[in-house]
Amino acid sequence: MTTTASKSGTFSLGGDLPVNRLGYGTMQLTGEGVWGDPKDPAEAVRVLRRSVELGVNFIDTADSYGPVVAEQLIKEALHPYTDDLVIATKAGLTRTGPGQWHPVGRPEYLRQQAELSLRNLGLERIDLFQLHRIDPQVPLADQVGELALLQQEGKIRHIGLSEVSVAEVEAAREVATIASVQNLFNLTDRKSEELLDYSTEHQIAFIPWFPLATGALARPGGPLQEIAARLDATPSQLALAWLLRRSPVILPIPGTSTVAHLQDNVAAAEIVLSDEDFQALSAIGS
């Protein structure tokens, strides 16, 4: 029987939007440097369709992936959407070329990008709209305040933040309800642990990007190999299983551009780590 993402458990995003915790991130569906079209557009469409077949109902994207390429691929592959599919997108980073990212948080820009994302995704309302980066040139209250206005107008359902500190989340929560945060976090990079603990306490979804960074830990003969062999799992699957076990608010969004790798990632939902294995993984990754 094929493993489905539903075996990862569920989380209620914003308190009213249930999703399977193991999701899919679309950044790798674009060209090199997250710029332009994918080398194999047909495979990109297959990946998106297969993800939904495997029970993934939380897909994370951004207007800057391509730019717009990832959002348009989602629409091509999955529109009209099923009622349970939750699509999260982001605005606040503009692009000047491959690998180049620049924060822009002016309210009129964020509004423009929200309108474009609605069009590119074929949606009447975006389930989760995230500020991709805080623009240091614009007051945070103005950036989050514009998202709150879009929410009041019914154009977005929930508001999220990306790459933020606990203090920044608390400041944003003075302006609007924050449903999610998205920071770099994985087995080997836990600088955002304080934010994860804060999110767990306040039932804020924590979406770790770059969740599979096992690096040297995954090398043949490396520290992950013994546990992986015993559980008949890959190091990447263990990294995802560790995240799912670490906190009930974590929603991992591993990305890939191939169906085979997608299926391998989703199979992580079936791995049950014992207390001893979880502690061993925590120790070798710290």
86 inside domain: yes
pLDDT tens string for the chain (286 positions)?
A: 567 999 999 999 999 999 999 999 999 999 999 999 999 999 999 999 999 999 999 999 999 999 999 999 999 999 999 999 999 999 999 999 999 999 999 999 999 999 999 999 999 999 999 999 999 999 999 999 999 999 999 999 999 999 999 999 999 999 999 999 999 999 989 999 999 999 999 999 999 999 987 666 767 777 788 888 889 999 889 999 999 999 999 999 999 999 999 999 999 999 999 999 999 999 987 7
Q: What is the pLDDT of residue 123?
A: 98
Strand pairing of 58-60 and 24-25? parallel
267 inside domain: no
Angle of helix 223-231 relative to helix 235-246, nearest 10 degrees, comes to: 90
Domain extent, residue 41, equals: 7-213+247-256
271 inside domain: no
107 inside domain: yes
CA distances, 221 to each of 183, 217, 224, 226, 277 (Å): 30, 9, 8, 8, 17
Q: What is the pLDDT of residue 27?
A: 96
143 inside domain: yes
| Cβ partners under 8 Å of residue 152, min gap 6 | none
Q: What is the pLDDT of residue 216?
A: 67
Evaluate whether 164 touches 183 at the Cβ level (below 8 Å): yes
| Cβ partners under 8 Å of residue 92, min gap 6 | 103, 104, 105, 110, 113, 131, 132, 133, 134, 135, 143, 162
Residue 215 and residue 162: Cα distance in Å, rounded?
23
Residue 258 and residue 250: Cα distance in Å, rounded?
24
150 inside domain: yes
| Cβ partners under 8 Å of residue 101, min gap 6 | 64, 93, 94, 95, 133
71 inside domain: yes
Q: What is the pLDDT of residue 220?
A: 72
Evaluate whether 44 touches 36 at the Cβ level (below 8 Å): no
Q: What is the pLDDT of residue 212?
A: 87
Secondary structure letter of residue 6 according to DSSP: G
Evaluate whether 151 touches 173 at the Cβ level (below 8 Å): no
| Helical segments of 37-96, H only | 41-53, 69-78
Instruction: Locate 281 and state its tokens.
Output: 């993984």
The active-site residue, picked from 65, 81, 109, 198, is 65
65 is catalytic: yes
Q: What is the pLDDT of residue 225?
A: 82
207 inside domain: yes
Instruction: Locate 267 and state its tokens.
Output: 């199979």
Number of domains in the chain: 1
Evaluate whether 9 touches 248 at the Cβ level (below 8 Å): yes
Q: What is the pLDDT of residue 7?
A: 97
Residue 118 and residue 120: Cα distance in Å, rounded?
6
Evaluate whether 186 touches 210 at the Cβ level (below 8 Å): yes
The H or E element containing residue 206 is strand 205-206
Evaluate whether 249 touches 200 at the Cβ level (below 8 Å): yes
Residue 186 and residue 202: Cα distance in Å, rounded?
21
Q: What is the CATH number of the domain that holds 76?
A: 3.20.20.100
